[in-house]
Amino acid sequence: MGNPQKPFNYLLADFLPRPVDYYPYMGDKIDPPREAPFFRPFVIFIMFAKLKGFDFWGKADKRLWTIPITYKGIPFNLADTKYGFRWYCEEKINKEIINIAHEAMLKIAKAIPLAEALFQPEVEKLMGEGNVSLENKYKEIHGRYLFFRALAHEKYISVESYNAFSIQLGKPKVDWERAIKELEAAQNFAAAMMDAYFSLLEHIFVLIAPFITHLDWQSFELTEHIGHRWKEKIKKLLPFEPDKELSRILNSLTKIKEELRNPMNHGFFLKDGQSFRVHLDHIGGIPMLMTTRGKHLTYNFNQTFKDPFYEICQAFDVFLEYLEKNEITKYGMRFLKSELYVLFSQDIVTLYRASMTSDEEFGELIDYFQHLVDQRTDMDY
């Protein structure tokens, strides 16, 4: 895309501002034409209030903002309301006015990518200043983890009734085949469970960063941190050297990740050739690691009992419990469970940390932010 300013100005040449010295009669709503895209309200605000400099009214009952304009001499009011973006006309609506409004909407639609290109430097400036937030998906990802864990548990329980001893005692072939299918289902659910769990850790150790009080927020690079691997994220935020419990937990999770979860996501191949089977005369192929793999934790799901699965679940539970009880992370975990967006600007981080003196004070902080969210959702201003 070349310089977007000229085509942007051309498309919006017939849009003119109106004064805001009185709050307008909003008028009647005009629906967009079928061929118009869904309008994101913030893009309309950027286009007219930020890039064109039009005056606007701020918060009002059920409205976040209203921009009064004229298009080809017709007075319109563009508003972000509780029910989405709305286009109102102060004059009595007729077919001609509807056609003019639709023409205006389609011009705005064409101008949206140009407006985004023009505003991108300001977006990058705000990002550099830390005026950003991230959506809190803790409950969603944790729920996915528990969902697949429950399904895997159910299947492993089923597999127990078809264990090796039952097969040796002469169970019918149909039972043996059913056992294999149940085991395959259990493995698939367990793999999905592990994916969800490590995704949860990635999520936690980004969103929890503002609540780690020993972290120097002025020098912390959020974008760089997001790009780190899960273990690097954890080591950046938590002190491992004096915390032997944390080191043990991380070792267990690393073993699960490298010996089971990673191979599942990479064609069932281990690193450094550890998946190879070495072929010997008279014997055939033997594992490169022989009997050394999995001495501390048995992760071979190709067995007809559920112990390895529960060993993994226990390791997962231990770390989440550690995060919820540890003084360094407990407030951050509590905030994540609130489902509130996490803000990363210096002033908000300072507010977060100032409230981390007691459970009661931190609870009041969460209630305050929840009130703001409810107010914004209902637009009760």
Q: 328 with 245: CB under 8 angstroms?
A: no
d(CA 263, CA 133): 34
pLDDT at 184 over 90: no
d(CA 377, CA 62): 9
d(CA 141, CA 194): 11
146-153 mean pLDDT: 96
Backbone angles phi, psi at 275, to 5 degrees: -85, -10
Q: 165 with 318: CB under 8 angstroms?
A: no
3-state secondary structure of 88: strand
Mean pLDDT of the chain: 84
Kindly report, residue by residue over 258-304, the tens digit of the pLDDT: 877 655 554 444 454 454 555 555 455 555 454 444 444 333 444 43
pLDDT at 171 over 60: no
pLDDT at 173 over 80: no
Kindly report, residue by residue over 90-136, the tens digit of the pLDDT: 889 999 999 999 999 999 999 999 999 999 999 888 888 888 899 99
Kindly report, residue by residue over 23-39, the tens digit of the pLDDT: 667 789 999 888 887 88
pLDDT at 139 over 90: yes
pLDDT at 175 over 90: no
The better pLDDT of the pair 174, 149 is held by: 149
Q: 135 with 336: CB under 8 angstroms?
A: no
pLDDT score for 131: 85
Q: 191 with 152: CB under 8 angstroms?
A: no
354-364 mean pLDDT: 96
